[in-house]
Amino acid sequence: MTTLVRTTIPTKEHFAEIGSVKRIRDGITYTLKLGWPTRVIASAGYGKTTALFYLAEEFEGVYCNVGHAHKQVADMYRMPIRASGHAPQAAYGRDLFDEVIW
């Protein structure tokens, strides 16, 4: 069973709008138009968690923190379904994908 991980997020007044945040926002905007999820990869300590948490609020989306326990394809799809307050209905990756995207 996939569990949601609660991370510590700095308060919004400590959040700095820097160039990388703009690039992430632009990427999210682009993938939303295509109907696909966004994946952000960077080394530890670059502020991904904080930026994505606040950008998820800005886009009225759901922030999911992925850890080693969530690396299976089916778990990656179950996570946003559960985070949005729903119970996954399917068992397999492709069917779960349809629940997330459609």
pLDDT of residue 5: 55
User: Which pLDDT does position 58 carry in this prediction?
Assistant: 86
pLDDT digits (tens, 9 = 90+) for 46-66: 888 888 888 888 888 777 776
- Cβ pair 83, 10 in contact under 8 A: no
**pTM value?**
0.57
DSSP state of 100: H
Task: Give the pLDDT of residue 2.
Answer: 52
- The Cα 63–Cα 7 span in angstroms is 10
